[in-house]
Amino acid sequence: MKLSNTPSNLSELPIYRKALEIFALSQNISVYLNHDLSTLREDGSEDQNIYFSGDIVQQSVSLAPEIMNAELERHSERKYKHIASLKRLTNLLYKNSYRLERSNSNGKDFLPVLRRELKKFKKLQSSWMLTL
């Protein structure tokens, strides 16, 4: 995922590249999980975990734009709003990955991989925030 109006130096930031990796990973995990979770149960109800698989994609797709917005923002107050949003999204991704791990799918084995990447992302996030 390359944003059309992304400054060239932004794509060199490790945190930005890691955000794109997390998005791709989340998307692949979601596709894999959806195959198992989209079938109806015997009683005709749907598996509620299918919504969490969409949530991880929605949250991960927002990581890179938040980084870009924080980098481009001139006012520190607004910059910190983007940083807070980035932290919130990361925490939600963690929470939803744990929820999905309890699902009835073979794809749940990939969720620890996502959490490892999120842990790396959080470390990058800490050092990146010091540069803003």
As averages over each run of 10 residues, the pLDDT of the chain (132 residues) reads 55 93 95 82 80 92 95 90 96 93 83 95 94 83
pLDDT of residue 7: 55
Q: The whole model's pTM is what?
A: 0.86
CA distance 33 to 52: 10
Does the domain at 11-37+47-131 match CATH 3.90.1200.10? Answer given as no
pLDDT of residue 41: 76
CA distances from 86 to 10, 19, 21, 68, 112 (A): 16, 10, 15, 11, 20
pLDDT of residue 47: 78
pLDDT of residue 55: 93
